[in-house]
Amino acid sequence: MASKVTEKAKARWLELVEVIEDARRRYYLLDRPTISDAEYDQAYRELEKLEEKFPELISADSPTQSVGGSASELFEPVEHLERMFSLDDVFDDEELQAWVDRVLKVTKKIPEMLCELKIDGLAVNLLYEDGILKRVATRGDGYVGEDVTYNTQFVSSVPRKLTGQAPSVLEVRGEIFFDLKDFSLLNDQALQAGRSPFANPRNAAAGTLRQRIDKREAELFQANQDSKTSTKIERLKKEFDMAAGALRKLQLVVHGIGRHEGVELKTQADSYRLFKEFGLPTSNDFLVVKSFDEVKKYIKKYGESRHRLTHEIDGVVVKINEILLQQNLGATSRTPRWAVAYKYPPEVVRTKLLDIKVNVGRTGRITPFAVMDPVRVAGSTVTNATLHNLSEIERKGILIGDMIYLRKAGDVIPEVMGPVVEIRDGSEKKFKMPNICPECGSKISQEKSGDVDLRCPNAEACPAQLRERLFHVGTRGALDIEGLGYRSAEALLTENILKNESELFNLTEKDLMKSDYFTRAGGKGEEKRVLGKNAEELLSQLEVAKTRALWRILVALSIRHVGPTAAQALAREFSNIESIEKASVEQLAEIDGVGEVIAVSIKEWFSEQWHQKIIKSWAKAGVQMREAKSKGPQPLKDKLIVITGSVTGYSRDGAKETLAQLGAKVSSSVSKNTDLVIYGRVDGSKYSKAVSLAIPRLGAEHFAVLVEQGFEQAAQLAEK
């Protein structure tokens, strides 16, 4: 039986969600992670245990309810024919044995298992029809990813056409990655060009594959057509060649299969042999084993030799080999039960802790970080590492001047383990958390009694918080404004073009002409400085952003804990920002996907006068603060509908929006009040709960009947 949630548990849940959301944002969107894999995994596991004990803490936007990545509007969103999953992680033989024991409950005996290296790259999905490559997409949220097909034409290991007798439909899962030598070369080039290097090979692969090289090519073509100056053409050609050159160094290895029609497969190993026949690049390092001891031998072998490999790995993936058994084992809402990732223990080195300084985040959280003597760890030289908070520093017993143990697991952001106490000479000194914010001078404190973290309370004017919030407005999960990146957000504030985010949509060419960052030297016959391409792009994208959906506006406002899922639920329920503001905590908390924690956060946000100024300023500048009115009849009015799995021809949000336009209320969870569950798969918890509550269940293949012919016709086709 679940325990009654305590204030302490609620506060810890909020802290963990913030840490994980920030880590994901920096990992997936900024390509600059700030915590190690081990620290992320530790926080995630603690969150899972907390939600298991207090289920009422779970919201639709909780990190435990999603895969981690997200699709964007930077690239065309595309739906995978079959869902892509992430993997559960284990860290020692005991946890691996526990996974095997769970498998044995279904299989009754040790099944064949396939072991392979876990390459640290970007997960992609390749779709072939009759042997011809139709598209390549990133994993995204598992259902919908970004279409990066155009960019992969430069990646030589991605076959445009399969060899042999190809099936009619074949979805192939793989990893795009850099060899370590090419990763080092890419970072050397970035440093020479004055750009920040990538944090690790995975982020380098993601950043390289998700660049808009098509726009660079179009600009170069147009410049040639318009007979622009040779200087401009040379610059554009250099930019295009550098982008294309980086893409050409990317490599692909395939390791999984999704939808396949016209081919029968019995085992995972069979699919790999088939991939080779088709000319798809596969790893030569996989091994089929028949015992747990053989799995451990494989893990040990590559654990000892992983730093001699040409590419980065952070562990080994173990899969049940027989595909029928995979299907019988099924999956949770996030991960398959038939596969697991064994993460290697971090490499440990020693270095000198020179100092401890602090950073200020978007929500004002003060995060101490270590400044160290440069040290080489698992292929990278590092000088900084996060220390999280004062309690963590005290728990580990770290003093400034200590020789410290440092470890790394899967990325170049290290974790400080603790001090080498036995060699202390008495010169070391205790770290004292500053009393004032290093960015704005405000006195820092706990937001609420019992909080582990300290915060800067000057949310409105603190330069660090302003910079992070302004950048957040432009991210893919918010208003997706190409041209409003971290550097441009910093320039807008440091060059005094904007005082805060409320002025963003009032920007003009005249404003940006005052900036060195947004202007460039003119050519012959031109004025000394002219508006740069980045300025033109920002201004045009701001106009587009004014018409974004209401839920994106809500995310862009940086209301604490309001992510896309909660924002979409709010937009569907209230349809305009005025109604959301007027709603009581109780009314907000009743909305599926919101709950009490987020409801309180929303009310607190609207109570601030400077937040009101943002809303009024944006609205005055033309930003839409309400949902577009639905056109046509509302045949599904007040019907409560849940979608689980994929609906062919729709993205997840697209299917929800279609139903919402017809008057339905689309929920993320099944309850006794649910009128209909639309399912694309039968192995999920939502489908099972619908069965237990005797809720009608409609196969996704009949979605068109519901949309075109109405609820009563669809109900006749539903399972009861």
Classified as helix, coil or strand, 698 is strand
The residue type found at 138 is: T
Q: Which residue has the higher pLDDT, 311 or 652?
A: 311
- pLDDT (tens digit, 9 = 90+) per residue, 26-37? 554 444 555 555
**Between 2.40.50.140, 1.10.540.10, 3.30.470.20, 3.60.20.10, what CATH number should domain 348-457 receive?**
2.40.50.140
Range 2-26 average pLDDT? 71
Beta strand spans in 202-330 (E): 251-261, 287-289, 313-320
Residue at token pair 């893990």 = 299
Q: Is 46 exposed, middle or buried (0-12, 13-18, 19+ CB in 10 A)?
A: middle
In 3-state terms, what secondary structure has residue 314?
Answer: strand
Q: Domain segments of the chain: what residues?
A: 7-65, 77-179+250-343, 348-457, 463-545, 550-620, 640-717
Tell which wins on pLDDT, 229 or 626.
Answer: 626
Query: In whole numbers, what is the pLDDT of the chain averaged over residues?
Result: 85
Q: What is the structure's pLDDT at 26?
A: 59
Whole-model pTM over 0.75: no
pLDDT at 239: 79
CA dihedral 335, 65, 651, 659 (to 10 degrees): 130
Residue that the structure tokens 């539903």 belong to? 718
pLDDT at 144: 82
**Per-residue pLDDT reduced to its tens digit, 199-221:** 678 878 888 888 877 777 777 77
Q: Is 441 left (phi over 0), alpha (psi -120 to 50) or beta?
A: left
CB 370 within 8 A of CB 356: yes
Q: How far apart are CA 610 and CA 515, in angstroms?
A: 26
How far is C-alpha 679 from the chain's CA centre?
25
Q: What is the pLDDT of residue 203?
A: 79
Element (H, E) at 339: strand 339-343
Residue 658 to residue 650: CA distance in whole angstroms: 9
Q: What is the pLDDT of residue 595?
A: 83
First to last CA, the chain: 29
Listing DSSP states for 131-147 in one string gives TEEEEEEE-TTSSEEEB
- Mean predicted confidence (pLDDT) in 552-559: 94
The SS3 of residue 113 is strand
Closest among 361, 542, 329 to 444, alpha carbons compared: 361
Percent of the chain's residues with pLDDT above 70:
88
Q: Which fold has domain 463-545?
A: DNA polymerase; domain 1 (1.10.150)
pLDDT of residue 692: 86
- The reported pLDDT for the residue numbered 533 is 84
Q: Is the pLDDT of residue 475 over 90?
A: no
SS3 annotation, 344-375: CCCEEEEEEEEEEEEEECCCCEEEEEEEEEEE
**If you write DSSP's letter for every residue of 444-482 in order, what string do you get?**
PB-SSTT-SS-B-S-TTT-HHHHHHHHHHHHSTTTT--T
Q: What is the pLDDT of residue 31?
A: 45
Interatomic CA distance for residues 43 and 53, integer angstroms: 16
What was the pLDDT predicted at 525? Answer: 53
User: What's the pLDDT band for 652 if we cut at 50, 70, 90?
Assistant: low
Residues 6 or more apart whose Cβ sits within 8 Å of residue 110: 100, 104, 290, 291, 292
Mean pLDDT of 534-562: 91
Coil, helix or strand at residue 149: helix
Q: Does the fold of domain 550-620 match that of domain 463-545?
A: yes
pLDDT band at 683 (very low <50, low <70, confident <90, very high): low
The CATH code for residues 640-717 is 3.40.50.10190
pLDDT reported for residue 73: 41
Q: Rank 64-78, 236-250, 275-289 by mean pLDDT and report only the highest.
A: 275-289
Q: Which residues of 621-650 are buried (b: 16+ CB within 10 A; e: fewer)?
A: eebbeebeeeeeeebbeebbbbbbbbbeeb
* pLDDT at residue 25 in the model: 59
CATH code of the region 77-179+250-343? 3.30.470.30
User: How many other CB atoms are found less than 10 A from the CB of residue 305?
Assistant: 9
Residue position matching structure tokens 């706990």: 446
pLDDT at 312: 83
Higher pLDDT, 460 or 594: 460
Helix axis angle for 180-192 and 201-209, nearest 10°, is 70
- 573 with 592: CB under 8 angstroms? no
Instruction: Write down the catalytic residue from 49, 108, 118, 276.
Output: 118
pLDDT tens profile 70-118: 444 446 778 898 889 889 889 889 999 999 999 999 999 999 999 999 9
Q: What is the pLDDT of residue 464?
A: 93
Q: 181 an active-site residue?
A: no
Amino acid at 234: E
Rounded to 5 degrees, φ, ψ at 84 are: -100, 140
Pick the CATH number of 550-620 from 1.10.150.20, 3.20.20.140, 3.40.1550.20, 3.40.228.10: 1.10.150.20
Exposure of 369 by Cβ count < 10 A (0-12 exposed, 13-18 middle, 19+ buried)?
A: middle
Q: Mind listing the pLDDT tens digit for each residue in 434-466?
A: 999 999 999 998 877 667 778 999 999 999 999
Contact indicator for 261, 168 with CB cutoff of 8 Å: yes
Q: Which residue has the higher pLDDT, 631 or 640?
A: 640
* DSSP H or E segment with residue 486: helix 486-494
- The predicted pLDDT at position 68 comes to 47
Half-sphere exposure of 95 (CA within 13 A, CB side): 12
User: What confidence score (pLDDT) does residue 123 get?
Assistant: 93
Burial class from Cβ neighbours inside 10 Å (0-12, 13-18, 19+) for residue 675 reads middle
Instruction: Please state, in angstroms and rounded to a whole number, the distance separating the CA atoms of residues 479 and 482.
Output: 9
Residue 168 CB neighbour total at 10 angstroms: 12
Task: Provide the CATH number for the domain formed by 7-65 in this structure.
Answer: 1.10.287.610
Other beta carbons within 10 Å of 430 = 11
Give the model's confidence band at 279: pLDDT under 50 very low, under 70 low, under 90 confident, else very high.
Answer: very high
Q: Tokens 């000198």 label which residue?
A: 352
> Could you give the CA distance from residue 671 to residue 254 in angstroms, rounded to a whole number?
40
The mean pLDDT value for 142-170 works out to 89
Q: Which residue has the higher pLDDT, 21 or 420?
A: 420
What is the dihedral sign for C-alpha 648, 652, 654, 659? positive
Q: 37-53 and 7-24 helices cross at what angle (nearest 10)?
A: 140
- What percentage of residues in the chain have a pLDDT greater than 90? 41
Own/partner contacts of 349-352, CB < 8 Å, gap of 24 or more, are: 349/375, 349/376, 349/377, 349/405, 349/406, 349/407, 350/375, 350/403, 350/404, 350/405, 350/406, 350/420, 351/375, 351/403, 351/404, 351/406, 352/401, 352/402, 352/403, 352/404
Extract the tokens encoding 176: 């795009």
pLDDT tens profile 305-353 = 887 888 888 899 999 999 999 999 988 877 899 999 998 877 778 899 9
Least confident span in 61-75, 630-644, 653-667: 61-75
Q: What angle do CA 20, 21, 22 make, to 5 degrees?
A: 90
Q: Is 528 helix (H, G, I), strand (E, B) or coil?
A: coil
Q: Tell me the three state secondary structure of residue 509.
A: helix
For the stretch 500-539, pLDDT in tens is 999 999 999 999 999 988 988 776 555 578 888 889 889 9
**DSSP assignment string, 389-433:** -HHHHHHHT--BT-EEEEEESSSS--EEEEE-GGG--S--B----
CA pair distance 14, 36, nearest whole angstrom: 20
